[in-house]
Amino acid sequence: MSVPCREIRELLPLYVGRDLSGPSRETVSTHLGACTPCRDEAEKTARALRSLRQYDPALPESEFGRFFLELRGRCRGLVPHRQDRTARTASVGRRALSMVRANRGLAAAVCLAFTLGLLASGDLLVGSNKASGPAVSSPWAGGVNERPVVRSVPSRLFSPVGLGPPPAYRVGQPPSSSLPENVNPHDGPAVKPRYELIESQKAIAIPARLRGEPY
Amino acid sequence: MDGAAARQSNPRTQPRGGTIPLEDKALAAAPDELTDNELLRLLQEGEDSVFRVLVKRYWGKAYTIAHGMVGNKEDAWDIAQDSFLRVYKASASFDLSRAFHTWLYRIVTNLCIDQLRRKSLARTVALDDIEPSLADRRPSLDALERRELRGRIDEAFEVIPPKYRAVLILRDVHGLACKEIGKIMRCTHSTVRWRLHRARKIFREHWERAASPARGGGA
């Protein structure tokens, strides 16, 4: 019926600190009411714990100034928000890099598409591909009623001689009229490609019956 | 209209989740009146001046825990500073739905345990702790008694394992609840109770052992 003193004394540290609850607490209380040795033990434990509550090694308030000054000195140069933001940006960059590494094929395809788009939109192909492309619709192809295509000459054909912006010319027409007077088309390397362009157009687009006709 | 203006200027009436302009907060309430988490939010928003208020509020407690754990003034001072330094550095990532003091005490206890591990669990008592400093030199019996008591408690702490010691300090010196200590120490309620039970038993044994020669000598 009654609980042995040994078991009760095991519970005393928690009982005295009010960390025992429910039936255990009731049991200890009942036992202590009837057992003097256990009550003495409980009193000793309580005395030891009371001394703990007086443990106060805290520094005087006057020390706070020095404490905070030192702390501020150590915090100086640390801007947590900015630092974290930088770290976050770096982590986003790292994440993007790892994603690219994981999908190398896709990244290569995107790069290729981008490069091709750049080439197609720039004037890199104007001198070669575009010149031969629309030759079907040129008057040399036999379409009498078709309007001649007006197109600008690539700037790099003229830029070496420093003559300003390229003039417009009609496909299939001799460009001599559009050339400045002081430039001999047979002399400079800058003008030569222009004639080559025209010649190549003729080679592709001029019908056989008109081929060899001087202009 | 006046009521609306007053509500706008008083941050305590604003919803907690909303963003309140810092100017309004500064005008409406002194930083001392704000709660820990409100101060933390201001710190997260870039108001560095409130950090002083936070430090002032908790430096004594952080120091007391550290002193109880490591047993000397210099290490306790450094650990308290390191703890606030960590708070400052990590304030941006602090979850405002949690209690600040739990976070701070966890940092302090972890730093103390690390420090004790480094020193191979050997608590050192500095000369400065034995000899009273100039500021403490008051011809008062009360102060002498307090210092003697502190020395005896420090000696008893030395024999308690660090994890048990931390629980004992947090519960019996600072009066935290076992649930809170569980959060700080990252352990269950039962573990806290077990450690507390063990720590109290060890402490009581050494307390009585230390007290009995004095009593014997006095008799």
pLDDT in tens, A96-106: 777 777 777 88
| Cβ contact, residue pair B81, A58, below 8 Å | no
Percentage of the residues of chain A whose pLDDT score is greater than 90 = 15
Is the pTM value of this prediction over 0.90? no
Q: Share the mean pLDDT of chain A.
A: 67
State whether residue B135 sits within 8 Å of chain A by CB: yes
Task: Give residue B56's pLDDT.
Answer: 92
Whether the per-residue pLDDT at A4 is higher than 60: the answer is yes
Radius of gyration of chain A, Cα coordinates, nearest whole angstrom: 48
Whether the per-residue pLDDT at A73 is higher than 70: the answer is yes
Task: Give residue A212's pLDDT.
Answer: 59
Whether the per-residue pLDDT at A214 is higher than 80: the answer is no
For A:85-114, CB contacts with B below 8 A are none
| SS3 state of residue A152 | strand
| Cβ contact, residue pair B168, A81, below 8 Å | no
- Poorest-pLDDT segment among A67-81, A127-141, B24-38: A127-141
| Cβ contact, residue pair B172, A78, below 8 Å | no
> How far does chain A reach from its first CA to its final CA, in angstroms?
131
State whether residue A215 sits within 8 Å of chain B by CB: no
Task: Give residue B201's pLDDT.
Answer: 93
Averaging pLDDT over each range in A5-19, A139-153, A183-197, which range is the top one?
A5-19
Could you name the CATH architecture of B138-219? Answer: Orthogonal Bundle (1.10)
Task: Give residue A103's pLDDT.
Answer: 77
| Cβ contact, residue pair A55, B85, below 8 Å | no
Q: Which residues of B touch A63 (CB under 8 A)?
A: 135
> How far does chain B reach from its first CA to its final CA, in angstroms?
78
Question: Which two tokens mark A41?
Answer: 């033990």
Could you name the CATH architecture of B28-124? Answer: Orthogonal Bundle (1.10)
State whether residue B143 sits within 8 Å of chain A by CB: no
| Residue A114 pLDDT grade (very low, low, confident, very high; cuts 50, 70, 90) | confident
**Tens-of-pLDDT digits for all 219 residues of chain B?**
344 444 344 443 333 434 444 445 444 567 778 889 999 999 888 888 899 999 999 999 999 999 999 988 889 999 999 999 999 989 888 989 999 999 999 999 999 999 888 876 555 555 445 444 444 444 455 777 888 888 889 889 989 999 999 999 999 998 999 999 999 999 999 999 999 999 999 999 998 888 776 544 433
Task: Give residue B204's pLDDT.
Answer: 92
State whether residue B149 sits within 8 Å of chain A by CB: yes
Task: Give residue B14's pLDDT.
Answer: 39
Domain boundaries, chain B: 28-124, 138-219
Rounded to whole angstroms, the Cα distance separating B182 from B170 reads 10
Question: Which two tokens mark B57?
Answer: 């509020």
CA angle centred on B155, ends A19 and B70, rounded to 5° = 85
Q: For residue B204, give the nearest of A48, A57, A62 by CB distance.
A: A48
| Cβ contact, residue pair B173, A59, below 8 Å | no
**Around Cβ B132, how many Cβ atoms within 10 Å?**
13
State whether residue A69 sits within 8 Å of chain B by CB: no
Domain boundaries, chain A: 5-53, 74-119, 126-205
Q: What is the pLDDT of residues A151-210, one digit of tens each?
A: 544 444 444 444 445 544 445 555 554 555 555 555 555 444 554 555 555 555 555 566
Q: Which residues of B touch A51 (CB under 8 A)?
A: 149, 152-153, 207
Task: Give residue B134's pLDDT.
Answer: 41
Q: Which residues of B touch A19 (CB under 8 A)?
A: 171, 178, 193, 196
Rounded to whole angstroms, the Cα distance separating B34 from B40 reads 10
For B:86-125, CB contacts with A below 8 A are 88-93
Half-sphere exposure of B80 (CA within 13 A, CB side): 29
Q: At what angle do helices B73-90 and A64-75 cross, to 10 degrees?
A: 50
Distance, C-alpha A12 to centroid of its chain = 63
Whether the per-residue pLDDT at A116 is higher than 70: the answer is yes
Q: Which residues of A touch B190 (CB under 8 A)?
A: none
| Residue A42 pLDDT grade (very low, low, confident, very high; cuts 50, 70, 90) | very high
Chain A nearest-CA residue for B202: A13
3-state secondary structure chain B: CHHHHHHHHCHHHCCCCCCCCHHHHHHHCCHHHCCHHHHHHHHHCCCCCHHHHHHHHHHHHHHHHHHHHHCCHHHHHHHHHHHHHHHHHHHHHCCCCCCHHHHHHHHHHHHHHHHHHHCCCCCCCCHHHHCCCCCCCCCCHHHHHHHHHHHHHHHHHHCCCHHHHHHHHHHHHCCCCHHHHHHHHCCCHHHHHHHHHHHHHHHHHHHHHHHHHHHHHHC
